[in-house]
Amino acid sequence: MQILTVDIGTGTQDILLFDSERAPENCLKLAMPSPTLLIGERIKRATADRRALLITGVTMGGGPCAWAVEAHCRAGLRVLATPDAARTFNDDLELVQHDMGVEIIVEEAGRKLAAGDDHTHIEFRDFDYAAIRSAFAAFGLDLQPDALALAVFDHGAAPAGVSDRQFRMDYLVERLRQDRRLSAFAFHSHAVPEIMTRLAAAADTAVAQADLPVIVMDTAPAAVLGALEDPVVAGRPDALVVNVGNFHTLAFQFRGRQPRAATGQVARLFEHHTGLLTPAALTGWLAALAEGHIAHAAVFSDHGHGALVLDDTPVALSFVAAVGPRQALLRDTSLPVYFAVPHGDQMLTGCYGLLRACADLEPTWREPIEDALSGRADKSLW
């Protein structure tokens, strides 16, 4: 079977076409600019051309595209957006209108305006199946996967007056209290929690474009789960694994995993904003995580998301596995850091985590995925 896995970050979208008849090292892969970067560049061109913007579509990742819209508004140029697309900037549409200056219009008005030429029309979405198919087609491959697996980061739709940091942390805590495996953060397209609006939008977009089974997952747990594909990490039953992302850093402390097990029980975690972390600060948080006394209130008061302790048994800080685009933050620290390279490619860590989650969620997929990831199924070259 073939599964198109796409880990959608702020800087890149990392793409692996998993084929159950190939070893991972023989599967096709791409590391391309993220959707938010690509859309941000289109918005900048509209700003340079002094064109009004019409934004339709769904809730997607912010960052570069949101900054570009803010700059467009500061330039005195008009921005109209439909509600779901506007929630990319903030779930509170009153704030989007009053603080950013974006005009919220109904979906029907958006469709009518898109038919004209008075605005630069941009559709917000995290997943563009046609673009990925075209990229593979340029090299002679007619992309026909059996399923899609996507990873995006989602704060969730916090109610008015509730911190989005606390809201996401509450969500992480709820999921892990139900199931201490990282695959607890993966869902079939029809089963995404309503509060996780970006995950739901990505799932709906994928189903509409490809009409295939779709599984979606949070990016940070996907990356940490993928790190366990590295045999050095897999051999550590009490591994501490940290994903240092462009915007967010999330670390999990495992306890008592079976040697080389694909999954494991989470003992504790913390999540923070990467931009607020220095090497010394991150070292301190990871030490507290290993010792088992990290406190949610301390992380939250430092403007992070927080922490969860399910098992406070101390673990010797003798091994830290690092993944993620900002992992260099740990390069010159005193920590015993191992930079994980699952299946020889650290850029695809999240994709491998997605595959492991697929194996957990879909029992009929488990054997072909596990056989391929173990290297037992490499039958021929492309």
pLDDT band of residue 377 (cuts 50, 70, 90) is low
What pLDDT shows up at residue 317?
94
CA-CA distances (angstroms) from residue 326 to 11, 48, 283, 317, 330?
A: 11, 31, 14, 21, 9
* Stated pTM of the model: 0.94
> Residue 261's pLDDT is what?
53
Kindly provide the b/e burial profile for residues 346-382, where b requires at least 16 CB atoms within 10 angstroms of the residue's own CB: bbbbbbbbbbbbbbbbbeebeebbbebbeeebbeeee
Averaged pLDDT for residues 302-324: 96
Tell me what the pLDDT averaged over the chain comes to. Answer: 94
Strands 2-8 and 12-19, bridge-based pairing: antiparallel
pLDDT at 256: 81
> Could you tell me if residue 266 is left (phi over 0), alpha (psi between -120 and 50 degrees) or otherwise beta?
beta
- Distance between CA 260 and CA 344 in Å, rounded? 17
Element (H, E) at 5: strand 2-8
Give the model's pLDDT for residue 306. Answer: 97
Q: What is the reported pLDDT for 374?
A: 87
Q: How many CA atoms lie within 13 A of 264 on its CB side?
A: 30
DSSP string, 104-139: E--HHHHHHHHTSSSSEEEEE-S--HHHHHHHHHTT
Question: What is the token pair recorded at 306?
Answer: 């927080």
User: How many CA atoms lie less than 13 Å away from 322 in the CB half-sphere?
Assistant: 22
State which CATH number among 3.30.2010, 1.25.40, 3.30.420, 3.30.70 fits the domain covering 231-340: 3.30.420
Domain-wise residue ranges, the chain = 35-124, 231-340
* Predicted local distance difference test score (pLDDT) of residue 262: 53
pLDDT of residue 205: 97
Among 127-131, 167-171, 378-382, the least confident range: 378-382
Alpha-carbon span 219 to 375, nearest angstrom: 25
Average pLDDT over residues 153-162: 92
Question: Tell me, what's the pLDDT at 80?
Answer: 98
**Percent of the chain predicted with pLDDT > 70:** 97
Residue 59: Cβ within 10 Å count = 26
Task: Kindly report the CATH number that applies to the domain delimited by 35-124.
Answer: 3.40.50.1100
What is the distance between the alpha carbons of residues 94 and 99, in angstroms, rounded to a whole number?
8
CA separation for the pair 268, 212 (Å, rounded): 35
